[in-house]
Chain A
Amino acid sequence: MTHWFAIVMGASLFTLMIPVIYRIWVGPTGFDRILGVNVIGTKTAVLLVIIGTVFDRVEMFVDFAIAYALLNFVAAIVISRYLNRTISLKEMEAREQKTSGN
């Protein structure tokens, strides 16, 4: 029963990730894409616990989940601090077009 619950939860989690992946694919701005990646990264921690339940090795996979949540946080902070310390994305694109146009 526990296994079936875990499998159903994992499958529905994957199904619900499709709209988020759509947002990463389409995302009008770069921030939308980063946000989508961040959401999927958080959900991967849950997926790792689900995989652990399916394999009956939760005590092992929970460690992976902690490490993954941690690295996801670091990644989000990296990207947001980088964008904070640089000029805006639109301006960067404009400059790139100027240099490539010449």
Chain B
Amino acid sequence: MKWISLVPVLAVGGLLLFAAKDFPEWGDPQSPASSSPVSSHFINNTGVDTEVPNMVTAVLADYRGFDTMFETVVVFIAGVAVIAILKGSGRRRGGLRKDHEVEAEPDLIVTNTVRLVVPVIQIFAFYVLAHGHVSPGGGFQGGVVMGASFILLALAWDLDHALVRMSLPKCIIIAAAGIILYGGIGFLSMLLGGEFLDYAELEKVLPVSREMARYHAMLGVEIGVGFTVTSIMFALYANLSSEGRLKGGL
């Protein structure tokens, strides 16, 4: 019976491969996606308006900054919801450990490698975050890599070891701080006479031109996103792996 499902899978896969033949050439300027007036506007103007070479970052953090702000809020709400549901549920069910879990010592080789690798990962996370202006990357990606480093700590030793460095209240505070940083930059540009998230107005407080003000404000916004994603990633892992007990766990 299981094998019957292979037939539609293969049929759909073959259909998609057949359709992939009609895709436009990679980076073709005549393709429908790049010849629409919206994308030609962005392609022509991002470099002039914001001096950011990576159009994706400029569109994400500047032209549709309002959307990205609420994407960050969605991440925050997801984390808070998981914490609210799971917190205390383990205590009610009783017992520190489920019946299929056993005691395990931290492994010497794994812990030593993790000790070497985690600083490198964190520096790479900062690189991804800050280099998002010229290459793929940005707040979400950098935040995920940063969160992975904390998860690696929790895996190599145990959850308590990582929670000493990044406790759950600290996670929520940092996540909220990220959103406040994002919204704060938006409100600051409002106070300076522009519209919400109109970064160009920040030239009045920054010693740079209007274009570079947008460039630097985008970096600030990305840092805010990075804060939120990092701490929510770790909070999700800590809660889901130990079912809200924040002890033992994976």
Majority-rule SS of A interface residues: helix
Q: Is B143 an interface residue (CB 8 A)?
A: no
| Given A70-B148, A85-B101, A86-B100: A63 in contact with B136 (beta carbons within 8 A) | yes
On whether A73 and B117 interact (CB within 8 A), knowing A63-B135, A64-B136, A85-B104, the answer reads yes
B124 & A66 in contact (Cβ 8 Å cutoff):
yes
CB under 8 Å from chain A, chain B span 110-152: 110, 114, 117, 121, 124, 128, 131, 135-137, 141, 145, 148, 151-152
The answer to the question of B155 belonging to the interface, with a C-beta cut-off of 8 Å to chain A, is yes
Q: By the criterion CB–CB under 8 Å, are B250 and A85 in contact?
A: yes
Contact of A63 among B103, B128, B250 (CB under 8 A): B128
A81: B residues at CB distance < 8 A: 104, 110, 155-156, 250
Please measure, in the bound complex, the distance between the C-alpha atom of A81 and the C-alpha atom of B141, giving whole angstroms. Answer: 25
- Contact of A78 with B155 in the complex, beta carbons under 8 Å: yes
Q: Within the assembled complex, what's the spacing in Å between the Cα atoms of A59 and B131?
A: 12
Q: Mark A34-75, 1 if CB is under 8 A from B, else 0.
A: 000000000000000000000100011001101100110110
Q: Among A67, A78, A87, which residue has its beta carbon within 8 angstroms of that of B145? A: A67
Which residues of B lie under 8 Å from residue A60 when comparing CB positions?
A: 135-136
Interface size on B, residues (CB 8 A): 25
Query: Could you say which residues of chain A place their CB within 8 Å of the CB of B128?
Result: 63, 67
A92 at the interface (CB under 8 A from B): yes
- The answer to whether A55 and B102 have CB atoms under 8 Å apart is no
Q: Are A86 and B145 in contact (CB under 8 A)?
A: no
Q: Please, which residues of chain A bring their CB within 8 A of the CB of B148?
A: 70-71, 74
Q: Name the B residues within 8 Å of A67 (CB-CB).
A: 124, 128, 141, 145
24 intermolecular pairs with C-beta atoms under 8 Å apart:
A60-B135, A63-B128, A63-B131, A63-B135, A63-B137, A64-B136, A67-B141, A67-B145, A70-B121, A70-B124, A70-B145, A71-B148, A74-B148, A77-B156, A78-B155, A78-B250, A81-B104, A81-B155, A82-B250, A84-B107, A85-B101, A86-B102, A87-B100, A87-B102
